[in-house]
């Protein structure tokens, strides 16, 4: 999309493994874990795009590659139209202000020896925006109010151990917001929180997207929460995108067998006449040696000969609903 805040094109990240001496002498290629393998999507202003899948599907690696915390193996990353793929660390500094990360664990992502003031001020100091201490304090107070920790005086000089898990995650979001970023990667931000406060943090993200125009990539294994806050959802399996569409399309008309299996695990099943079975067989294959053709075919209930030989393209089957399956089509 032309107005995309962030766009990735055919993004890949492969982690290369060691070869045995025997394999090296035999000239065998260096084995690699294809953590992210040809992913493309974009995020518009104020849009929340979910990335879902099982553990090990590559979703966390994708988030870190987009932020250039890990260098991509191939592909392109655009931030507001600028190709940042090959920028050096010093050249990335201005873009760091626009892109931030909220970590999964609010208990481990903060220095217990730093008070909340210092924790939120740290990004400002890294960016050299801490010359005026009065301005720094004003920005910190504003960030605390934006995440609904009011009055700021009650929190600003406390320490992480004095706060609840939900309050700590709000502090983590406030730390990301203090630089006024355009884009935030939220990596499983509620998975370690009590169910009673997950909704509060998710609703906070929704409000920030709608009122401040902050764009999010929401990484999760929980389709129920993704459905609640996401505009679009991207489903990953073994490093590849298998389905990409709106949240409603994904829930009410999932077309890929893997997506149906994920939904059946977390949402009440809705039998559909002629629908694809939601049952997958076996275990997830080794990412260092994925199956040929469609990577799901050893587990797929509808797999045929072509599936083991030809990798399906991610194609639009109508209404911007993208699916990578030889047999998926709109009903």
Label residues 130-142 b or e (16+ Cβ within 10 Å = b): eeeeeebeebbbe
More confident residue, 94 or 233: 233
pLDDT, residue 279, reads 72
pLDDT of 51 above 50: yes
Fold of domain 4-98+182-323: Rossmann fold (3.40.50)
pLDDT of 261 above 80: yes
Confidence grade of residue 24 (pLDDT, cut at 50, 70, 90): confident
In 3-state terms, what secondary structure has residue 6?
strand
Q: What is the mean pLDDT of residues 228-253?
A: 96
Q: What is the mean pLDDT of residues 206-220?
A: 96
Q: What is the mean pLDDT of residues 256-269?
A: 82
pLDDT of 1 above 80: no
Q: Where are the domains of the chain?
A: 4-98+182-323, 105-180
Instruction: Please provide the average confidence, as pLDDT, over all residues in the chain.
Output: 91
Q: What is the mean pLDDT of residues 289-298?
A: 92
pLDDT of 238 above 90: yes
pTM, to two decimals: 0.91
Confidence grade of residue 331 (pLDDT, cut at 50, 70, 90): low
Q: Are strands 315-316 and 322-323 parallel, antiparallel or unpaired?
A: antiparallel
> Are residues 257 and 280 in contact, defined by beta-carbon separation less than 8 angstroms?
yes
Residue 164 Rama label (left phi>0; alpha psi -120 to 50; beta): beta
pLDDT digits (tens, 9 = 90+) for 268-281: 555 554 454 567 87
Q: Write the DSSP assignment of 213-263 as a string of letters.
A: --EEEEEES-HHHHHHH-SEEEEEETTEEEEEEEHHHHHHS--SHHHHHHH
């Amino acid at each position: 999309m032309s107005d995309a805040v962030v766009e990735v094109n055919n993004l890949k990240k492969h982690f290369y493994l060691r070869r045995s001496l025997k394999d090296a002498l035999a000239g065998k290629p260096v084995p690699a874990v294809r953590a992210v393998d040809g992913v493309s999507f974009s995020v518009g202003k104020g849009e929340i795009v979910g990335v879902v899948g099982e553990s090990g599907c590559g979703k966390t690696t994708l988030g870190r590659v987009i932020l250039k915390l890990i260098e991509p193996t191939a592909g392109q990353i655009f931030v507001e139209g600028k190709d940042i793929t090959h920028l050096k660390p010093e050249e990335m500094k201005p873009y760091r202000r626009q892109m931030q990360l909220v970590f999964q664990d609010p208990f481990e992502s903060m220095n217990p020896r730093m008070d909340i003031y210092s924790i939120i001020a740290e990004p400002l100091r890294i960016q050299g925006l801490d010359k005026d201490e009065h301005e720094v304090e004003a920005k910190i107070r504003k960030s605390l109010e934006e995440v609904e920790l009011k009055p700021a005086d009650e929190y600003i000089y406390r320490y992480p151990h004095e706060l609840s898990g939900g309050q700590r995650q709000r502090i983590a979001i406030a730390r990301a917001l203090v630089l006024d970023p355009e884009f935030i990667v939220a990596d499983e931000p509620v998975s370690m929180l009590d169910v009673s406060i997950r909704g509060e943090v998710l609703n906070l993200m929704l409000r920030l997207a709608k009122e401040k125009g902050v764009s999010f990539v929401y990484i999760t294994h929980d389709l129920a929460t993704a459905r609640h806050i996401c505009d679009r959802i991207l489903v990953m399996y073994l490093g590849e995108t298998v389905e990409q569409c709106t949240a409603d399309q994904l829930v009410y008309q999932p077309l890929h067998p893997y997506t149906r299996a994920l939904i059946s695990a977390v949402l009440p099943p809705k039998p559909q006449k002629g629908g694809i079975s939601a049952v997958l067989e076996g275990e997830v294959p080794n990412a260092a040696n994925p199956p040929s053709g469609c990577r799901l075919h050893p587990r797929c209930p509808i797999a045929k000969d072509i599936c083991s030989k030809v990798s399906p393209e991610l194609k639009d089957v109508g209404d911007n609903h993208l699916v990578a399956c030889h047999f998926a089509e709109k009903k």
